[in-house]
């Protein structure tokens, strides 16, 4: 109807290499890591005895958010040693999500599969290692395959499900949840941006299409704001699930 030529998804996510093989996704990841390091580097230079403000306040807020809302809620006090790992995960994912709504960048690094997959593999290695360390190899897999308090005939059904769920499905669900949400958000923004542009630049039926361009434009603005929330939420979900997996591996009775 509008003669809208929507590019294939492959085109939307294609980014040329800038330096060597460093493309936009890599640059966002490097930038996210750099910003996180910079925030904490600046925060660590403040006088600790004074009331925190600015960057220090932000860093302390992040640390306490992870400790109070994630570690203490899922692992407990003895899991506070995992705060640096979970903090790194949360900040890195959030800063990789955020460029999806930043002009010029306009692409969440987690909207490509590489970073979510890498992080999921790390989480997978970590929680399995923690489980084996705390329960022993046999104890850990026994705990996974034969959860206590279940009637024995149910094990026929439950054991393969639990094994596949814990060992195979978990890392993929973590990776795909993050990747798919961010890519879907990015595609929505692209869709409404293209639709707005097409309607504002319509060559026919201008009297109808140009004013109606406000509608996708409004939706674009709404979704942009919504993506801020989604970016935070996905980082939080990934981090809290990681904490839940680690907590479960440490305390199987929970």
Binds other proteins (CB under 8 A): choice among 2, 60, 65, 226: 60
| Nearer to other proteins (CB atom), residue 5 or residue 253 | 5
Q: Is 21 in the site for other proteins (CB under 8 A)?
A: yes
Q: Strand pairing partners for 169?
A: none
- In this chain, which of 23, 69, 106, 191 binds other proteins, going by CB under 8 A? 23
- Token representation of residue 219: 């939706």
In the list 112, 130, 174, 190, the residue contacting other proteins (rule: CB under 8 A) is: 112
- Using DSSP, state whether 22 is helix, strand or coil: strand
Cβ-based neighbours of 249, under 8 Å, separated by 6 or more:
127, 128, 130, 131, 134, 135, 140
* DSSP letter for each residue of 116-153: HHHHHHHHHHHHHHHHHHHH-HHHHHHHHHS-TTS-HH
Is 130 among the residues that bind other proteins (CB under 8 A)? no
Site for other proteins, residues 161 to 190, rule: CB under 8 A: 183
- Is residue 106 near other proteins by the rule CB under 8 A? no
Q: Taking CB under 8 A as the rule, does residue 77 contact other proteins?
A: no
Name, in order, each residue with C-beta under 8 angstroms of 163's C-beta and a sequence gap of 6 or more: 141, 144, 145
- Give me the least distance between CB of 37 and other proteins, in Å please: 6
Which CB contacts under 8 angstroms, 24+ apart, belong to 223-226?
Answer: 223/185, 223/188, 223/189, 223/192, 224/101, 224/189, 226/185
Comparison of 25 and 243: residue with beta carbon closer to other proteins = 25
Contact 39, 56 (CB under 8 A): no
The least distance separating other proteins from the CB of residue 36, rounded to whole angstroms, comes to 5
Is 195 a binder of other proteins (CB under 8 A)? no
Which member of 32, 178, 199, 240 binds other proteins (CB under 8 A)?
A: 32
Which member of 71, 75, 98, 119 binds other proteins (CB under 8 A)?
A: 119
Task: Give the C-alpha separation, 56 to 42, whole Å.
Answer: 7
Whether the CA torsion 200, 203, 207, 212 is positive or negative: it is negative
Q: Among 71, 98, 107, 109, which residue sits at the site for other proteins (rule: CB under 8 A)?
A: 109
Q: Output the furthest CA–CA distance in the chain (Å, rounded).
A: 72
Per CB under 8 A, the segment of 10-18, 100-108, 136-144, 234-242 that binds other proteins is 10-18
135 binds other proteins (CB under 8 A): no
| Residue from 70, 71, 87, 230 binding other proteins (CB under 8 A) | 87
What is the contact surface with other proteins in residues (CB under 8 A)? 5, 7-11, 13-14, 16-17, 21-23, 25-27, 29-30, 32-34, 36-37, 40-41, 43-44, 46, 48-50, 52, 56, 59-60, 63-64, 83-85, 87-88, 91-92, 96, 109, 112-115, 117-119, 122, 183
């Amino acid at each position: 109807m509008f003669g809208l030529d929507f590019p294939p998804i492959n085109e939307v996510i294609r980014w040329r290499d800038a330096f060597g093989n460093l493309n936009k996704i890599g640059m966002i990841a490097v930038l996210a890591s750099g910003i996180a390091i910079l925030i904490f580097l600046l925060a660590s230079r403040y006088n600790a005895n004074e009331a925190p403000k600015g960057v220090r306040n932000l860093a302390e807020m992040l640390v306490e958010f992870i400790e109070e809302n994630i570690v203490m809620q899922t692992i407990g006090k003895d899991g506070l040693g995992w705060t640096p790992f979970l903090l790194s995960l949360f900040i890195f994912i959030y800063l990789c999500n955020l460029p999806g709504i930043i002009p010029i960048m306009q692409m969440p690094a987690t909207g490509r599969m590489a970073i979510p997959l890498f992080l999921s593999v790390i989480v997978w290695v970590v929680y399995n290692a923690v489980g084996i360390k705390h329960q022993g190899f046999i104890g850990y897999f026994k705990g996974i395959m034969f959860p206590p308090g279940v009637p024995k005939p149910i094990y026929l059904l439950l054991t393969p499900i639990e094994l596949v769920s814990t060992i195979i499905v978990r890392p993929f669900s973590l990776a795909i949840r993050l990747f798919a949400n961010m890519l879907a958000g990015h595609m929505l923004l692209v869709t409404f941006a293209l639709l707005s542009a097409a309607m504002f630049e319509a060559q026919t039926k201008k009297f109808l299409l140009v004013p109606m361009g406000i509608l996708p434009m409004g939706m674009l603005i709404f979704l942009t704001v919504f993506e801020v929330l989604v970016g935070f939420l996905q980082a939080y979900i990934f981090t809290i699930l990681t904490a839940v997996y680690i907590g479960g591996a440490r305390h199987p009775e929970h």
